Structure 1
């Protein structure tokens, strides 16, 4: 779905603070803060997560998941995999 790091990166690309993102998504600032404090995948009410994703989409952000290509080109938010993720758990260094 979406990770906390992707939310922070998207906000940085848009130049938004948490308050402005909360307003755009129709959520409270504490909700955005909790989402951004998540470890890895954002945990929260599905409705709230969808509101956030829709707000980022309306603002022009494409959230690119693992092994996806940016179909629209231009800016997106992508997290690079670490060497251990790219090589798998059984890979030898």
Structure 2
């Protein structure tokens, strides 16, 4: 799973707007913004977080660490 902070960081690294990520992941932009505003691991959103993570990874980022231990993002 990924955190709201990782979503924001990954999107910034790719220079994608929230609208870009929403279109590419087929997740609503309001949902993207809500998840990004959360600190830590958003609960109850596994399917949505998986779709966002897959889209960002396909865009060229790699998620590192775990939500509880040194979560981060880097370019592939």
| TM-score, normalised relative to structure 1 | 0.67
Distance 1:35 1:44, change over 3 A: farther
1:36/1:42 contact within 8 Å kept = no
Q: What's the RMSD between the two structures over aligned residues?
A: 2.0
Aligned length: 71
State the Cα distance separating 1:46 from its structure 2 match.
Answer: 1.4
Partner in structure 1 of residue 36 of structure 2? 36
- Structure 1 stretches of at least 4 aligned residues deviating more than 4 Å after TM superposition: none
Instruction: Give 5+ residue unaligned stretches, structure 1.
Output: 69-74, 78-93
Bigger CA radius of gyration: 1
State the Cα distance separating 1:41 from its structure 2 match.
Answer: 1.2
Partner in structure 1 of residue 61 of structure 2? 61
1:3/1:40 contact within 8 Å kept = yes
Which protein has the bigger strand share?
Answer: 2
Partner in structure 2 of residue 76 of structure 1? 74
> RCO higher in 1 or 2 (8 Å CA, sep ≥ 6)?
2
